[in-house]
């Protein structure tokens, strides 16, 4: 590797991947995330910080490189840059771990600090860190050293409950690193282990300086979580967990999306091929690329000052409880109520390990009470006037007209009704509602009726615009292989809120007929 590579001045952007438990696809995601960044022309270093459980090299289709982390423990004075290996992917380098190495099982504190310091001085645009799973101090410290933290979670109770425990451990570690050790040890047994940040405010020993240190540490981080191998119905769970984390842990960890899985990715994994390099338009690769685009966009957003101090208020308004604005339309109130209600249902595991059945019932009662208050125009108007008189909301923030409130149309209403409730004066909508067979022309008609552009679908799915247009125009010879086409059709159907199974059956029937005639 050329020596000039180590003469950069700009600091790299660190993105870490970690999970509460193994087997959810964390390492696979970190590898393919790094590949996608490198394919976009970025100079990327992938670092396997699972250390003695290392496997990133396998997902790149490589044998364990001779240059790896074990060099640091076997040769004193060795620089970290001597551990770097090239990979089969352009613009992507690797620092591999050393599987089963006892020297890397629990690395000395000074060596850990050396690794983190040396990484910051390497001239890469991005450093992607696979921090492994679990709550060891090494894993937590590497995770907290990054600019953007990505948690990988499976949408099931066996992973979600450990995820909450993992967040607690991460916050406790953050407190320890933000305070001096003596101060943390004095507070450790007094801080509420269930909700560390909330418990911090309840201690008399907590100073203004302590709060400032924690807020500064949190402001320097961006976080998010992804689902691996989720179904369409699981996606709602993502936003529910995001809401619960904010409520119980007092931090924002947005849901970044779902990582899809398909037979192509499965076969590539078994063959130890780099999926995003060799199969760039399979569902897995496209979903990873979507997450890459989202995170790089978030990276460009200005750092938001985190405030974890509890607001000193006499009470929380009904609007805050439902998480809506004071000028929300009744349909928005209804949607927010249903969304919140689903979180606290007895069948939901969004609150697993956090709330008892009785606590969830109490939460549902509160939601119902506030919903009834706001959904009635007369009670809402009276309530708003009371809030204004007490300076909880401003006059210009309230809804403009309570009398006509029920008649005001909303954009999302029109979209939903475009294919389900034809109007007498809308001949086109009437035609849409009568569609029973999904060919290319039907898909285009539905998309246009819902006022969705091709660019919107491209943005949300990463399907190329050329393929979407070819699907609608049934230019079969311009479409990718059938297995890729199935994935594209499924994503388009889900975005248009129509049956993926019906779309696949109808569209592929015409496609297969064309293919058989072409074969003849």
Domain layout of the chain by residue ranges: 8-154+221-300, 318-408, 413-519
Distance CA 393, CA 127 (A): 45
Query: Quick one: CATH architecture of 413-519?
Result: Orthogonal Bundle (1.10)
> CA torsion, points 29, 494, 230, 338, in degrees to nearest 10?
130
Residue 8's pLDDT is: 44
**Residue ranges in 347-480 assigned as alpha helix (H):** 357-375, 377-389, 411-417, 427-433, 440-449, 454-461, 465-473
- The answer to whether 486 and 260 have CB atoms below 8 angstroms apart is no
> What is the phi/psi pair of residue 346, to 5°?
-65, -25
pTM: 0.77
The strand pair at 148-153 and 85-86 is best described as unpaired
Tell me the CB-side half-sphere exposure of residue 199, using CA atoms within 13 A. 15
| Residues facing residue 127 across a β-bridge | 14, 45
Residue 140's pLDDT is: 94
Around Cβ 403, how many Cβ atoms within 10 Å?
8
Residue 520's pLDDT is: 59
**3-class DSSP assignment, residue 148:** strand
Distance CA 194, CA 492 (A): 42
Around Cβ 79, how many Cβ atoms within 10 Å?
14
Distance CA 46, CA 83 (A): 12
The strand pair at 222-228 and 148-153 is best described as parallel
- The CA distances from residue 427 to 111, 263, 378, 409, 450, in Å, are 72, 42, 37, 19, 14
Chain-centre distance for alpha carbon 133: 17
Residue 508's pLDDT is: 95
**Common-topology check for domains 8-154+221-300 and 318-408:** no
Q: Which CATH number fits domain 8-154+221-300: 3.40.50.300, 3.10.50.30, 3.30.70.3270, 3.40.80.10?
A: 3.40.50.300
Low-confidence ranges of the chain (pLDDT < 50): 1-8, 404-425
**Residue ranges in 54-136 assigned as alpha helix (H):** 56-59, 70-74, 109-120
- The answer to whether 387 and 316 have CB atoms below 8 angstroms apart is no
Q: Which CATH number fits domain 318-408: 1.10.275, 1.10.287, 1.10.3470, 1.20.120?
A: 1.10.287
Residue 433's pLDDT is: 67
């Amino acid at each position: 590797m050329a020596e000039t590579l180590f003469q950069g001045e700009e600091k790299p952007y660190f993105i870490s991947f970690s999970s509460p438990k193994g087997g959810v696809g964390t390492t696979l995601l970190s590898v393919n995330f790094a590949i996608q960044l490198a394919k976009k022309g970025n100079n990327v270093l992938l670092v396997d910080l699972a250390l003695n459980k290392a496997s990133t090299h396998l997902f790149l289709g490589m044998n364990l490189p001779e240059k790896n982390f074990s060099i640091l423990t076997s040769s004193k004075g060795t620089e970290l840059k001597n551990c770097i290996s090239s990979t089969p992917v352009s613009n992507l380098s690797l620092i591999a771990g050393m599987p089963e190495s006892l020297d890397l099982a629990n690395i000395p504190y000074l060596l850990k600090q050396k690794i983190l310091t040396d990484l910051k001085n390497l001239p890469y645009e991005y450093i992607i860190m696979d921090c492994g799973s679990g709550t060891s101090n090494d894993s937590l410290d590497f995770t907290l050293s990054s600019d953007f933290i990505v948690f990988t979670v499976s949408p099931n109770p066996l992973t979600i409950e450990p995820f909450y425990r993992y967040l607690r451990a991460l916050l406790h570690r953050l407190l320890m690193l933000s305070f001096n050790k003596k101060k943390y040890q004095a507070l450790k047994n007094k801080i509420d282990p269930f909700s560390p940040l909330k418990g911090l405010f309840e201690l008399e020993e907590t100073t203004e300086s302590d709060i400032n240190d924690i807020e500064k540490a949190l402001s320097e981080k961006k976080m998010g979580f992804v689902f691996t191998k989720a179904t369409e119905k699981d996606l709602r769970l993502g936003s529910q967990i995001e809401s619960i984390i904010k409520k119980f842990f007092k931090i924002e960890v947005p849901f970044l999306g779902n990582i899809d899985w398909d037979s192509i990715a499965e076969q590539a994994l078994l063959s130890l091929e780099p999926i995003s390099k060799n199969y760039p338009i399979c569902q897995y690769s496209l979903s990873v690329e979507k997450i890459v685009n989202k995170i790089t966009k978030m990276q460009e957003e200005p750092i938001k000052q985190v405030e974890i101090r509890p607001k000193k208020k006499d009470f929380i308004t009904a609007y805050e409880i439902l998480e809506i604005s004071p000028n929300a339309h009744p349909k928005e109130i209804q949607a927010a109520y249903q969304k919140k209600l689903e979180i606290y249902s007895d069948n939901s595991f969004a609150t697993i390990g956090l709330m008892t059945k009785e606590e969830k019932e109490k939460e549902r009662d509160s939601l119902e009470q506030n919903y009834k208050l706001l959904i009635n125009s007369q009670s809402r108007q009276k309530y708003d006037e009371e809030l204004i008189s007490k300076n909880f909301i401003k006059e210009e923030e309230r809804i403009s007209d309570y009398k006509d409130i029920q008649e005001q149309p909303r954009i999302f209403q029109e979209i939903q009704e475009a294919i389900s409730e034809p109007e007498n004066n809308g001949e086109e909508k009437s035609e849409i509602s009568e569609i029973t067979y999904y060919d290319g022309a039907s898909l285009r008609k539905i998309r246009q009726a819902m006022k969705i552009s091709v660019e919107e679908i491209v943005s949300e799915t990463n399907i190329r615009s050329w393929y979407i247009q070819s699907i609608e125009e049934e230019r079969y010879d311009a479409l990718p292989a059938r297995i890729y086409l199935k994935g594209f059709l499924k994503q388009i159907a889900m975005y248009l809120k129509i049956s993926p199974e019906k779309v696949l059956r109808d569209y592929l029937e015409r496609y297969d007929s064309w293919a058989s005639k072409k074969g003849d």
